[in-house]
Amino acid sequence: MPTIDEQVEVLMQGTEYGDPQIKENMRKELTERLIEAERQGRALRVYCGYDPRKPDLHLGHTITMRKLRQFQDFGHDVTFLIGTFTSLIGDPSDKDKARDQLTRQQVEENSRTYTDQAFKILDREKTRVRYNDEWLSPLDFADIIRLASNFTVQQFLVRENFDKRMTEGQPIYLHEFFYALMQAYDAVAQEADVQVGGQDQLFNILVAGRKLQQGLGQRPQIAIIMGESLPGTDGEIKMSKSLGNDIPLLSEPWDMFGKIMSLPDKAMPVYHRLLLGWFPKQVQALEDGLRDSTLHPNNEKMRLAHEIVSIFHSPEAADAARKRWDEVFRSGGIPKDIPQETITAEERIVDILHRRKMVSSIGEAKRLMEQNGVRLNEQPITDPTAVITLDKLPAVLQVGKRKFVRLVSNGS
């Protein structure tokens, strides 16, 4: 087992608080808590919460999961918390307007696959899975008043996003204040020693969570705030499902491989650092090699894509994705293993694309057609009313560079 100093060095790696003194305080508190836990013969209680606002997690979520895995590897008690109650409101932390409120049915539907996705990083046998409606649902109005009395309105209004909305005359709804209160109660209910989160959770964890624990007679949790966010496929903006620049953990190996290959070259170092856990010297060597051309960007990206697909699927799936990539982009051909769809009557091409989930909507199909992004037998289809008839089959329908389907008739 690593020494406490070695554990602290690993666990604090990659954290950022916007204030060197806060970081030093968290390092000191973590060291003291580890010493105390070792003396008492217990593990630290560590958790991170994930709100099922959408049905799938993406690569950006795995940064906090990897930090949880480090705690697991050091023998600590890790909880993967699914925010089945908090997600009904939605975290306003990084939003310039109120989120839409979900129904309980939507939340339950979205959360069904969360644990399977998480176990791509976390140890299934060592992970405690909990749902925060377990302790938030039973609270009555008197409980809420008692919890809220630990905070002032001013503490919430100084938050950057609320302050910005106040300045711009944008509404701040009362229910948005309660998200931080509910997340703070998550820490109380679990008697947490440590909470892990991203930069957008700084107030919720460091201020609200710690203050409520102290107000209710508990020792305040240590905040492990990850300092760097994973950029999306644009290489610029934080990966987000709502922005459409995400790489879902549930995406097919070929799609995941292709999205990584589409990353701007400048995003490669941060992907190596945050997803593969490369040390600074390794990242520096990569940057130097790309700069002096001793490393070819496409080759390095190919290796990165292969490693990431191997992690979230399997080495075999990564091999198949790379082979398919070579078929399409190096030999200019069509993959051999594309799915097949039987057409029984004349049908609009946009309807086929939507039914096959090659596009998210009919509107997207039409936009892609305008941009020459839809092809039939390698010829652009620009007319959104275009149809496929049985006499034109078999045929290969293609969207973008990575999505294909072979259309056949019953007699093909």
Query: Which residues does residue 397 pair with via DSSP β-bridges, in sequence order?
Result: 376, 405
Number of domains in the chain: 3
Distances (CA, A) of 23 to 30, 107, 160, 193, 249: 10, 35, 20, 16, 31
Q: With a cut of 90, say whether residue 9 has pLDDT above it.
A: yes
Confidence of residue 141 (pLDDT cuts 50, 70, 90): very high
Q: Are both 286 and 357 inside the same structural domain?
A: no
The whole domain housing 365 covers 340-408
Last residue of a domain, one of 225, 241, 264: 225
Q: With a cut of 90, say whether residue 360 has pLDDT above it.
A: no
Q: Are both 126 and 188 inside the same structural domain?
A: yes
Q: Are both 195 and 319 inside the same structural domain?
A: no
Rounded mean pLDDT, 242-261: 86
Average pLDDT, the chain: 87
Q: Are both 163 and 219 inside the same structural domain?
A: yes
Q: With a cut of 60, say whether residue 227 has pLDDT above it.
A: yes
Q: Are both 345 and 284 inside the same structural domain?
A: no
CATH number at residue 197: 3.40.50.620
Residue 333's pLDDT is: 62
Q: With a cut of 60, say whether residue 90 has pLDDT above it.
A: no
Radius of gyration of the chain from its Cα atoms, rounded to whole angstroms: 24
Q: Give 298-354 pLDDT, tens digit per residue.
A: 899 999 999 999 999 999 999 999 988 877 766 556 666 678 888 888 889 999 988
Q: Are both 111 and 202 inside the same structural domain?
A: yes
Specify the pTM. Answer: 0.74
Q: Give 163-179 pLDDT, tens digit per residue.
A: 788 888 888 888 788 88
Q: With a cut of 50, say whether residue 93 has pLDDT above it.
A: no
319/254 Cα distance (integer angstroms) = 10
406/169 Cα distance (integer angstroms) = 53
Confidence of residue 96 (pLDDT cuts 50, 70, 90): very low
- Would you tell me the crossing angle of helices 268-275 and 280-291 to the nearest 10 degrees? 160
Rounded mean pLDDT, 175-190: 91
- Would you tell me the crossing angle of helices 297-312 and 315-325 to the nearest 10 degrees? 140
Q: Are both 178 and 277 inside the same structural domain?
A: no
Last residue of a domain, one of 176, 208, 225: 225
235 Cβ contact list (under 8 Å, min separation 6): 263, 264, 266, 267
Q: Give 270-311 pLDDT, tens digit per residue.
A: 999 889 888 889 999 999 998 988 988 889 999 999 999 999
Residue 98's pLDDT is: 43
60/233 Cα distance (integer angstroms) = 11
Q: Are both 164 and 269 inside the same structural domain?
A: no
> Which among 29, 45, 33, 16 is positioned nearest to 201, based on CA atoms?
16
| Cis amide leading into 394 (omega within 30) | yes
> Which among 382, 157, 403, 152 is positioned nearest to 259, based on CA atoms?
403
Confidence of residue 100 (pLDDT cuts 50, 70, 90): low
Q: With a cut of 60, say whether residue 45 has pLDDT above it.
A: yes
Neighbours of 167 (CB within 10 A): 8
Q: Are both 215 and 322 inside the same structural domain?
A: no
- Tell me the percentage of the chain whose pLDDT exceeds 90: 45
Q: Is residue 162 part of a domain?
A: yes
360/259 Cα distance (integer angstroms) = 16
Q: Are both 126 and 41 inside the same structural domain?
A: yes
How many degrees, rounded to 5, is the angle at CA 117 between CA 111 and CA 118?
Answer: 95
